[in-house]
């Protein structure tokens, strides 16, 4: 490619985990000379992290199980330009894409994704397959090509991982309540560095005009 590759990054992050991964990925793409425009999806309905109570957390988990779309604020005009790649990143919510990502697909899916190559990035505690297959289906319906996926799971053993995420969302301190079983909520420093390395691979593939299908992004 004779000009620098152009990448659009659209992401939603409720508790900061996707945002951390995306920051490292974008740093790495930019370091490799890629032109990046990143836009955070902002839901119209205000969501607060932590959710704050056990009851409200259970309610959100139940509601999101039914793939509830959440309306988002209008996107910057630059999101509708031409890009060599669109990275669509966000958390798993009850085995599905998060409400704001579903809202984006419903509100502007065809306008943004038709004819584009889209690489989803998923941040989750560990259960991402249904999310991935559902998201790929929705993106393809919008006319996108979806050659690969990047997945990051929380690096803590079960059942502590599930209990820890639940407690964190409910506003408790799992690091204190679960002790050594739960060192921290979310992704590790090594995973952030892995996001950086994935960015290098993507930049190189774009420069060589090589399909992202050929890249290995082992789930971490």
Per CB under 6 A, contacts with ligand FMN among 160-179 are 165, 169
DSSP H or E segment with residue 177? helix 174-177
Measure CA 14 to chain center: 10
Residue 2 CB, nearest distance to ligand FMN (Å)? 36
Member of 126, 147, 183, 219 binding ligand FMN (CB under 6 A): 126
Number of Cα atoms under 13 Å in the Cβ half of residue 178: 22
The residue within the footprint of ligand FMN, chosen from 8, 41, 60, 146 (CB under 6 A), is: 60
Name 68's bridge partners: none
Q: Of 1, 16, 114, 140, which one interacts with ligand FMN (CB under 6 A)?
A: 16
Q: Reduce the DSSP state of residue 121 to 3 states and report it.
A: strand
Residue 28 in contact with ligand FMN, rule: CB under 6 A: no
Q: What is the dihedral of CA 9, 13, 16, 17, to 10 degrees?
A: -70
Between the alpha carbon of residue 199 and those of residues 22, 64, 95, 166, 211, the distances in Å are 9, 30, 26, 30, 15
Task: Choose which of 28, 64, 191, 194 interacts with ligand FMN (CB under 6 A).
Answer: 64
User: Is position 191 an interface residue for ligand FMN (rule: CB under 6 A)?
Assistant: no
End-to-end alpha carbon distance in the chain: 30
Smallest gap, in angstroms, from Cβ of residue 47 to ligand FMN?
9
For 197, the enclosing helix (H) or strand (E) is helix 189-207
Indicate which single residue of 58, 61, 163, 170 sits in contact with ligand FMN (rule: CB under 6 A). Answer: 61
Query: Of 64 and 206, which CB lies nearer to ligand FMN in the complex structure?
Result: 64
Please tell me whether residue 15 binds ligand FMN under the rule CB under 6 A. yes
Examine residue 124 and tell whether it contacts ligand FMN (CB under 6 A). Answer: yes
Q: DSSP characters for 179-192? A: GGG---SS--HHHH
Residue placing its CB nearer to ligand FMN in the complex, 111 or 137:
137
Number of residues that bind ligand FMN (CB under 6 A): 23
Please give the residue ranges that form the binding site for ligand FMN (CB under 6 A). 13-18, 60-61, 64, 91-95, 123-128, 165, 169, 186
């Amino acid at each position: 490619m004779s000009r620098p590759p152009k990448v659009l990054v659209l992401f939603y992050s409720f508790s900061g985990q996707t945002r951390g991964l995306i920051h490292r990925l974008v740093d790495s793409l930019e370091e490799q000379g890629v032109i990046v425009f990143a836009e955070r999806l902002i839901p119209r309905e205000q969501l607060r992290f932590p959710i704050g109570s056990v009851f409200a957390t259970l309610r959100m988990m139940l509601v999101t199980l039914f793939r509830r779309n959440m309306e988002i604020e209008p996107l910057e005009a630059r999101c509708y330009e031409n890009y060599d790649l669109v990275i669509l990143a966000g958390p798993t919510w009850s085995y599905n894409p998060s409400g704001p990502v579903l809202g984006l697909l419903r509100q502007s899916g065809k306008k943004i994704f038709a004819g584009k190559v889209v690489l989803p990035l998923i941040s989750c505690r560990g259960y991402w397959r249904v999310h991935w297959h559902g998201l790929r289906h929705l993106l393809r319906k919008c006319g996108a090509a979806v050659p690969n996926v990047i997945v990051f799971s929380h690096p803590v053993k079960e059942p502590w991982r599930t209990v820890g995420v639940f407690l964190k969302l409910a506003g408790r301190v799992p690091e204190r309540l679960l002790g050594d079983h739960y060192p921290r909520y979310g992704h590790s420093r090594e995973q952030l560095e892995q996001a950086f390395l994935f960015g290098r691979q993507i930049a190189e593939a774009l420069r060589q005009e090589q399909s992202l299908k050929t890249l290995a992004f082992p789930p971490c």
